[in-house]
Amino acid sequence: MRMETGMSELISTLVATPRRHPLWAVALGAAAWALVYSQLEPLSFAVVGLMGLAPETRLAGAVQFFVYDTPKVLMLLTGVVFVMGVVHTFVSPERTRQLLSGRSSGVGNVLAASLGIVTPFCSCSAVPLFIGFLQAGVPLGVTFSFLIAAPMVNEIALGMLFALFGWRVALLYLGMGVLVAIVAGMVLGRLGLEGWVESWVIELRSRQHATVATGAAPTWSERVESGWNHVREIVGKVWIYIILGVALGAGIHGYVPEDFMASIMGSGAWWSVPAAVLLGIPMYTNAAGVIPIVEALLAKGAALGTALAFMMSVIALSAPEMIILRKVLKPQLIAAFVAIVATGILLVGLVFNHVL
């Protein structure tokens, strides 16, 4: 009996301690994370040895790649997603709207595209967000900059690019994405397309928007918990794509000839970028699902600009999102939106392949 109370007391202390000292718990977790991470490579060679595979063979190379890369990518993604989950508790859509309200073109677009990276966003909330921004006096073009950047430059895309291809490719994607969002938003704003927003939205705009009581600022314990929830939600959903992507990478690593794709998607073929963008528009998958494809393209000699343009087009422009936005935008505005964003992605991809 006493044993039991002792046990349950111990368990409740163990559960309660991280809540009481959230920052210590995070520091401890980060240290454990770093320790495991540093041992991944020797561990993968040990596994290959245990399996009795002769080193230097293709099979051993593929197995080692898979055993090393899967936990590496999962751990890096977990880290990035956790940090973003905590960052999200600092930037609510309401706060972002407040920062963007009444901003002029240019400054507003830059700010909107940047805030799009860190504000929590789900494409199912695109419509209420769009209405909320317009109601608070955020200009249409600035709103579009946000709506382009938020789904395209997200932590899953950045985390996975970082984990699989390194920080240079991740930063490149971030820079290209933000640039497209800023310029496309400015062009859309300059065109003065307010008349193509559905009239019921404009009528709502004239009404005072209701304010939502947001309550007290969250405690650090709540912020950390939100980070964990984010990890559970995101990594719980995308782990299968990671394993798929890494397995594909491992297979390519060992077997398929290096320049298989180079002739059709290398930087030499001028039409490869437009083809990649057009192909990507109707396609719909989350950032995790498109990564295995990007990995295969890159490994087989596709140019980096082409592969990243394809990824942007798949994530930023999709049929389901257009159907959702159709509720607030007239078809003409949707067409203009798709055309301008696609052109932006196309230009970025071309410039990247040919100039840089």
Partner 1 sequence: MKNVKVLGSGCNKCRVTIDTIRATAERLGVEIELEKVEDFARIAGYGVMATPSVVVDEVVVHTGSVPTAKSIEGWIA
Q: Say how many C-beta atoms besides its own lie within 10 A of residue 61's C-beta.
A: 17
End-to-end CA distance of the chain: 72
What is 226-258 written as a DSSP string? HHHHHHHHHHHHHHHHHHHHHHHHHHHHHTS-T
Closest CA to 295 of 248, 332, 260, 243: 248
In the complex, least distance from residue 18 CB atom to partner 1, rounded to whole angstroms: 17
In the complex, least distance from residue 93 CB atom to partner 1, rounded to whole angstroms: 4
Q: Measure the CA–CA gap between 181 and 169, rounded to whole angstroms.
A: 18
Residue 101 or 343: the one with the smaller Cβ distance to partner 1 is 101
What is 166-226 written as a DSSP string? -HHHHHHHHHHHHHHHHHHHHHHHHTT-GGGB-HHHHHHHHSPPPPPP--SPPPHHHHHHH
Residue 13 or 229: the one with the smaller Cβ distance to partner 1 is 229
201, 328 contact by CB (below 8 A): yes
Residue 44 or 89: the one with the smaller Cβ distance to partner 1 is 89
In the complex, least distance from residue 279 CB atom to partner 1, rounded to whole angstroms: 27
Residue 75 or 324: the one with the smaller Cβ distance to partner 1 is 324
Closest CA to 348 of 182, 191, 190: 182
Residue 35 or 122: the one with the smaller Cβ distance to partner 1 is 122
In the complex, least distance from residue 190 CB atom to partner 1, rounded to whole angstroms: 25
In the complex, least distance from residue 110 CB atom to partner 1, rounded to whole angstroms: 21
In the complex, least distance from residue 330 CB atom to partner 1, rounded to whole angstroms: 15
In the complex, least distance from residue 205 CB atom to partner 1, rounded to whole angstroms: 10
Residue 7 or 212: the one with the smaller Cβ distance to partner 1 is 212
Strands (E), the chain: none
- Alpha carbons within 13 A on the beta-carbon side of 271: 4
Distances (CA, A) of 22 to 19, 32, 151, 231, 265: 5, 15, 30, 16, 48
In the complex, least distance from residue 91 CB atom to partner 1, rounded to whole angstroms: 12
User: Angle CA(92)–CA(110)–CA(164) in degrees, nearest 5?
Assistant: 75
Residue 105 or 125: the one with the smaller Cβ distance to partner 1 is 125
User: Letter for the amino acid at 305?
Assistant: G
Q: Measure the CA–CA gap between 289 and 20, rounded to whole angstroms.
A: 38
Residues that bind partner 1 (CB under 8 A): 92-94, 97, 120, 122, 124-125, 127-129, 131-133, 135, 200-201, 204, 209-213, 327-328
Residue 213 or 356: the one with the smaller Cβ distance to partner 1 is 213
